Structure 1
Amino acid sequence: MDPSERPAVVFDNGTGYSKLGFAGNSEPSFTIPTVVAVNESFLDQSEQCSSANWLAQYNAGVMADLDFFIGDEALSHFKSSGLYSLRSPIRHGQVNDWDTMERFWQQSIFNYLRCNPEEHYFLLTDSPVSTPESRECMGEIMFETFNVPGLYISVQSVLSLSAGFAYLKSLSEEDSEDSVSDMTGVVVDIGDGAPHIVPVVNGYVIGSSIKSFPLSGSDVTQFVMQLLQERGELLPPDDALDIARRVKETYCYTPSDIVKEFKKHDSKPSKYIKQWSAIKPKTGVPYTIDVGYERFLGPEIFFHPEMYSADFSTPLPELIDSCVQSAPIDTRRALYKVLSLSSANTSKNRK
C-alpha cells in the first residue's frame, strides 16, 4: 500500500518522556519515559571474550543487542534486577547516545506501535537549538536502519504553535483564514531537560532570539523533594525522586499570589494539606506523607528562581519579554499577541 494512504508515525522524544503515535489521532498512543535498560552482563562477556574466541564474542554481542527494554519496562527491570543498567539517550534536549536512541526507536516501532516502518512516513520532533549534524544522524538512522519511505523533522515549538492555531480555528465559528493562519507567536517550552523561549514568525523560528531558561521540570521535581525532606517527611531513599515527581504531577499548581496562598494554608491546614500514600517497594510497608507548601512552592521557581538556585535570578516573564524585544521590531507586536505554553510542566492549574 502507498505510504501516503497510511497515517504518518509521530515521535516526540523528550529528555524525560517520549510520546509515540500516529498522525490524525487526538492524543499519543503511548507516553513513556525516554530511558533504555541494557543487560550489562552480555556487554561484559563481549568485552572479556578473547579475540580468538570470536564465536562467543559474537554471540554475547548479539544477545546484548537483543536484551534491552525501554520506557516503564526499562525502569521495572532496572529496579527488580541488578543485571540491567539504565541509559538516557537524550540529555538537555539533545541526543547524546545515538546507539541507545536507535534501540529506543526500534522498540517504539516494532513493540509499541507494531507497524512496518517501510509503510509509513515519519515525523520526528527536534530541539530548536539542535545542530545540522544531529538531524543528519536522525535521517541516517531512519533511512538506512528502518528504511522509511519519507521523513520530516520539525522543531517542537513550531508544532506546538501550529496545534494551538489549529485548535483556535476549530473553535472559531467563522472560517477566517487571516486570524489564525499567520503562525506567529512566542512558545514557552519547559520540558524535563532544556527549556526554551522560542519566537516563531510565519511558521519560522527566529534563531537569534531564542532564550534558554536554566530551570526545567526536573529542577521542580528536585525542589519538591528537597522541601519534603527539609520538612521531615520520611521518603524511601530509592524512590524519593519518583515520589517527588508524582507529587508534582498530581498536586502542584501556580498561585496568583504566593503570600495569600501561605495565609490560606496556615489558616486551614486540614483543607489544603494533601496526603500521598504508597507502599515501600522493598519491605511492602505502607506509608503516608503530607504535601503542603510544596504544592505551590515547586512551580514558583519559574517566577522566583532565586528560591532554588543562587546562580540565576531572572524570572521567566522577564526572559519572555527579553526574547520578544530581541526579535525584529516589525514582528514584536504580533509576537506579544500570542503566547503558547508547551510541555507538561507549563500545565499547572492556576489558583
Structure 2
Amino acid sequence: MARRSPVVIDIGSGCTKMGFAGNIEPTFMIPTVVANSARKSNQSVHISQTPSAHGLADADFYIGDEAYARKDSPNYLLSSPVSKGRIDNWDDMERFLQQAIFRNLRCIPEEHDFLLTEPPFNTPENRELMAEMMFETFNVNGLYIGVQAVLALYAQWVCDVKLEMDEASSPNLTGLVVDSGDGLSHVIPVADGYVISSCIQELHMAGKHVTQFVHDMICDRGEPVPAEQRMEAARQIKEKHAYLCRDVVEEYQKFDQDPRKFKTLSNVYPKTKEEWTIQIGYERFLAPEIFFHPEIFVESMTTPLPQVVDNAISQCPIDYRRKLYSNIVLSGGSTAFQHFKERLQHDVQQIVNERLQKAELSTGRRPQDIEVCVHGSKQRKQQRYAAWLGGSLLAQEPTFLTMVKSKKEYEEVGPSCMRGSPVLG
C-alpha cells in the first residue's frame, strides 16, 4: 500500500488544527464542538471505513462552525469533547474525527501515518484510548502522539535556527514553553526533549477568560448588542483589537487624549435585520492584562504569568535554568496578542534582576547576569498553531518513520504500544 504524506492533527479545547506534513499552516482550523441530534444523542454513531458521502449524510451530527450554527436549535445538543486540553467525551471525539478526516481532509486513513498532539499530564490510559480509536475505528497506517510543548520547541528551532545552521545539527529541545489556548494555560519546562513534569505550572486562565472579560464590559456599558451575539462580538474584539501595554494608567491617558484609539464594531441582528454598532475602548488593553494582573479580574488567581514563569524555572535543575531563561517559547492563540512577547520578556527580566540585586546586597558580590529571551513567531498568527507546525515539520523528516507505531505493532502488542513517547531528533 502506498504511503502518502502524514496527517497532522492538533486537538485543542477551543480549536482543532489539521493538515498534511510539510505545510507551514494548517489546512483547516475548526472549533472543537459537535452538535448531536437530540433524538440520537445517546446512540452510538456508525463510523464508515470509507469516505462515502452517503455514509456522512446519514450521520445526524455536525462539527465546527456547522455545529455552532445549530446551537439554538431544539433538535441538536452542542457538546465540547475536549475540556481544559483533555478529551473527556470519547464518543463525540470519534464523531468529530470522522468528519474531520473524511469530509474536511478527504483522505483515506489506511494510506497515511497520523501525528496527533497531546497536552501535558495526559495519562497513559488516554494515549491507549486514542490508539485504539485510530487503529480500530479509522484503521490508520501508523500513529505517533507528540507532546505539544516539545513540538512547539521543535518548530521554533527549525524556523529560527536550523535554516541558519548546519542541516545535520541536533535540535535544541531545551526551553520553557508558555502555552495558552482557549481553556487553560501551561508553563512547561523541557530539558533535552523531556518534559520536566514536576515543574509544570498550570493556570486556570486563558482565552475564554479574556473573551468573558470583554463580554462583561460590553454588558456593563449597556452596549446595544443582542444577547445571542455578545460572546461572538467579544471574541472578535479580542482577536482583532486587543493588545498589551507596558503601563495601564499611561494607556488610559492616551485614550483620553486621542479619540482615534477607539474602534467600532458593527453587525446585523439576524432576526430583525437591524444593524448595530458599538464603540471599542479601554477593553482593548485591559482584557489581555489579566495575564499580568490577574488579581484585578479573577478572584481565584493572584499570581501573574511572569511570576509563574520564574517559579517554574526556579524549580528546575540548576544546570538548566539559564538555558530555560534564554529560550522561552510562546505557543497557543492567547499568546498572539500584540506586544505579548515584549511584555512577558520585560516583566520576567525585571523579576530576575531584582533577585540578582538582592543576592548582591546579601553577599557583596555581583552575580553573573541572566538574559531573558522570549521567542515568538515572526508572524504572530503562527503562534496559534505552533504545536501543529512543529508536528508538520517533524512528520516530513525521514526519522519520523522510526518513531511511528505501525498497525502491525498495534496488532502484536495492543494499545500499550503507545505508552512510550520517543524524544524528537
Calculate the TM-score normalised by the size of structure 2. 0.75
Instruction: Return the letter of the residue paired with 2:30.
Output: I
Q: Is the 8 A contact 2:38 2:74 kept in 1?
A: no
- 2:333 — aligned with what? 344
Q: After TM superposition, give the deviation of residue 170 of structure 1 in Å.
A: 4.7
> Are 1:87 and 2:79 matched, yes or no?
yes
CA deviation digits over 1:212-236, x for unaligned, max 9?
0121110000011111221221221
AA paired with 1:175? D
Counterpart of 1:68 (choices 47, 52, 61) is 61
> 2:200–2:312: 8 Å Cα contact kept in structure 1?
yes
**1:63 Cα deviation after fit:** 10
2:219 — aligned with what? 229
Aligned-residue RMSD, C-alpha: 2.0
Aligned equivalent of 1:124, options 116, 124, 131: 116
Q: How many angstroms does 1:283 deviate by?
A: 1.4
Residue 139 of structure 1 pairs with residue 128 of structure 2: no
Specify every segment of 5 or more residues in structure 1 that has no aligned partner in the other structure, as ranges.
48-61
Match of 2:257 in 1: 267
Once residues 326 and 18 of structure 1 are traced to their aligned partners in structure 2, the CA distance between those partners, rounded to angstroms, is 32
Counterpart-to-counterpart distance in 2, 1:263 and 1:105 = 49
Q: Please give the secondary structure, in 2, of the residue aligned with 1:254.
A: coil
CA pair 315-40 structure 1, distance change in 2 beyond 3 A? same
Aligned pairs (5 A) from 1:52-201:
66-79=59-72, 81-172=73-164, 174-175=165-166, 181-201=171-191
What's the secondary structure of 2:279's corresponding residue? strand
Q: What is the aligned partner in structure 2 of residue 318 from structure 1?
A: 307
Q: Residues 38 and 64 of structure 1 are in contact (CA less than 8 Å); yes or no, is this contact kept in structure 2? A: no
Q: Secondary structure at the match of 2:228?
A: helix
Three-state SS of the structure 1 residue aligned to 2:129 is: helix
SS in 2 for 1:10: strand
- What secondary structure does 1:78 align onto? coil
Q: How far did residue 196 of structure 1 move?
A: 0.4
- Alpha-carbon shift at residue 255 of structure 1 (Å): 1.0
Aligned length: 330
Residue in 2 that maps onto 1:53: none
User: Which is worse superposed, 120-129 or 304-313?
Assistant: 304-313
Structure 2 letter corresponding to 1:255? C
CA distance in 2, matches of 1:227, 1:142: 43
Using the TM superposition, name which of 228-237 and 316-325 deviates more.
Answer: 228-237
Instruction: Provide TM-score, normalisation by structure 1.
Output: 0.90
Change (3 A) 1:313 1:148: same
| Contact in 2 for aligned 1:191/1:345 (Cα 8 Å) | yes
Structure 1 residue 42: Cα displacement? 3.6
Larger relative contact order, structure 1 or 2 (CA cutoff 8 Å, min sep 6): 2
Deviation digits for residues 269-308 of structure 1, max 9, x if unmatched? 2x10000000112211110011000001010000000121
Residues 39, 64 of structure 1: 8 Å contact kept: no
Alignment gaps of 5+ in structure 2: 45-54, 341-425
Instruction: Name the structure 2 match of 1:18.
Output: 16
Task: Check the 8 A contact 2:154/2:172 in 1, yes or no.
Answer: no
Identical residues among aligned pairs (%): 48
Contact 2:180–2:331 (CA<8 Å) still a contact in 1?
Answer: yes
Give distance in 1, aligned partners of 2:296 and 2:194: 35
- Tell me which amino acid in the other structure corresponds to 1:110: F
Aligned mates of 1:281, 1:16 — CA distance in 2: 25
Correspondence for 2:228: 238
Pair 1:297-2:315 in alignment: no
| Residues 231/146 of structure 1: CA separation in 2 closer, same or farther (3 Å cut) | same
Q: Conserved in 2, the CA contact under 8 Å of 1:8 and 1:121?
A: yes
Task: State whether structure 2 residue 301 is matched by structure 1 residue 309.
Answer: no
SS at match of 1:158: helix
Taking the aligned partners of 1:67 and 1:2, their CA distance within structure 2 comes to 33
